Amino acid sequence: MNAIYLLNGPNLNLLGGREPGIYGSGSLADIESSIARRAQAAGIILTSKQSNHEGDLVGLVQEAGRQGAGVILNAGAYTHTSIALRDAITGSGALVIEVHISNVHARENFRHHSMISPVVRGVILGLGAMSYELAFDALVQIMKEHKHKTVSRIV
């Protein structure tokens, strides 16, 4: 299945008005539209979801893993606190790229540690909305390579 989940965590629904000096002036809808255009051009089924609730995100990561879909995940503040998201990634086998709009390492100390970085395929941060576009392009390529390796083992 050629599918990608675009998952955004708490407060990302406030993009466009929330601290524009850090997050820019674009909205989450702008980001979702940009990725939807890329997905359509690549023949990928895109599921975009935002939730302020950790359990919702855990369920979506598990769903993506079961379906063999890739995941672009901006877990927001849950990045720094959620063992549950970490366990969902490892337990479901989901192929995840972690994304952040801002450079979390140039911000408050509590943002410097990610609970999920050790279990994701890659991390892209600090490039604004472009972080999502780069994550999408990378994930498509990784999924192609992963599919090729799987087919090669079967043959």
pLDDT tens digits, residue range 62-118? 999 999 999 999 999 999 999 999 999 999 999 999 999 988 887 878 778 899 999
pLDDT recorded at residue 151: 45
pLDDT recorded at residue 24: 72
What's the Cα-to-Cα distance from 96 to each of 25, 65, 66, 130, 151, rounded to whole Å? Answer: 26, 9, 13, 17, 21
Residue positions annotated with a catalytic role: 23, 100
pLDDT recorded at residue 64: 98
Distance CA 142, CA 24 (A): 28
155 Cβ partners below 8 Å, 6+ apart?
none
DSSP annotation of 155: -
Q: With a cut of 90, say whether residue 150 has pLDDT above it.
A: no
Q: With a cut of 60, say whether residue 126 has pLDDT above it.
A: yes
Picking from 95, 37, 41, 87, the residue whose alpha carbon sits closest to that of residue 71 is 95
Q: Identify the band that residue 155 occupies on the pLDDT scale cut at 50, 70 and 90.
A: very low
Q: Please, are residues 120 and 22 in contact by the beta-carbon 8 Å criterion?
A: no
- The CATH homologous superfamily for domain 3-154 is Dehydroquinase, class II (3.40.50.9100)
DSSP annotation of 99: E
